[in-house]
Amino acid sequence: MEKITTYAEAEKIFSRGIWRRCIDGSSVQNSKCVGYCNFSEHRGFLTEKERRKHDCMGKNCEHYLPKVSSSSKGSKIKASSSFDIKELNEAIKKYEGIRIIRAESDFSGNIRAYYTAISNYDINKLQKEILLKTNINVTLVKLPYSFENAVEAVMKGR
């Protein structure tokens, strides 16, 4: 199975009406889901309780895909039309060993862009370059990918 890269993609593939299969094998209504886990040993949707138990956010887990909500209720992350991952990656394309995997905006308008890299980069310089080229102020957060997974992710984006 090819790796799923967004919560919406997981919804398209695995939705069964309003019910979603969670990583513990239970079925819950979509409204209770806050994310999706891509980890091959327990792929599935996550409730807030499961996300806390697995500490997905705290670990910046590369397998965790947050649910994006267009309303201010529920999820702490909202959809934003003011940024696009392709646009962010285009801004840093001259740096061949880095790729932004996902980005999210909180309700304050702060944008976190999660990236992987196969080399070391001056992150402050990259953030400034993105701001200059796109007028989008981002905070770059490195995902804890293994070197092999980082290479695969970076090359997939080229």
- The more confidently predicted of residues 58 and 156 is 156
* Domain presence at residue 31: yes
Q: What pLDDT band is residue 74 in, cutting at 50, 70 and 90?
A: very low
Q: Do 62 and 94 belong together in one domain? A: no
Residue 142: domain span? 80-156
Segment among 26-30, 39-43, 77-81, 120-124 with least mean pLDDT: 77-81
| Cα–Cα–Cα angle for 49, 105, 10, rounded to 5 degrees | 55
Q: Among 26, 45, 73, which residue terminates a domain?
A: 73
Q: What pLDDT band is residue 63 in, cutting at 50, 70 and 90?
A: confident
Q: Do 15 and 56 belong together in one domain? A: yes
Number of domains forming the structure of the chain: 2
pLDDT at 94: 92
* Domain presence at residue 2: no
CB atoms within 10 A of CB 156: 11
